[in-house]
């Protein structure tokens, strides 16, 4: 699957199938600190991802 990360901006190819939480761990990203988008849909950490999926990972940003 093709995974697009925004900070720093890069694209990586990852083999599936795997759960969102396993993908984030493989990329050394904190599950609670990132949003994962599959196509146009926000997905949960237990969602399965497969080869051929287009995935975008964005950091959670908060402010006040």
How would you class 24 by CB atoms within 10 Å of its CB: exposed for 0-12, middle for 13-18, buried for 19 or more?
A: buried
Q: What structural domains does the chain harbor?
A: 2-59 (3.10.20.30)
- Residues with Cβ within 8 Å of residue 22, at least 6 apart in sequence: none
Task: Please give the pLDDT value at position 24.
Answer: 97
What tens digit of pLDDT does each residue of 5-63 get? 988 899 999 999 999 999 999 999 999 999 999 999 999 999 999 999 999 999 998 87
Q: Which two tokens stand for residue 16?
A: 């599936």
> How far, rounded to the nearest angstrom, does the alpha carbon of residue 53 sit from its chain's CA centroid?
11
Look at the block and give the residue holding tokens 């990972």.
Answer: 57
Whether 32 and 39 have beta carbons less than 8 Å apart is answered as no
Task: Please give the pLDDT value at position 8.
Answer: 85
Say what the pTM is: 0.89
Task: Please give the pLDDT value at position 18.
Answer: 98
């Amino acid at each position: 699957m093709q995974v697009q990360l925004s900070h720093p901006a890069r694209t990586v190819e990852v083999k599936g199938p795997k759960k969102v939480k396993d993908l984030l761990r493989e990329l050394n990203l904190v599950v609670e600190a990132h949003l994962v988008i599959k196509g146009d849909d926000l997905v949960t950490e237990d969602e399965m991802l497969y080869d051929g999926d287009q995935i975008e990972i964005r950091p959670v940003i908060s402010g006040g």
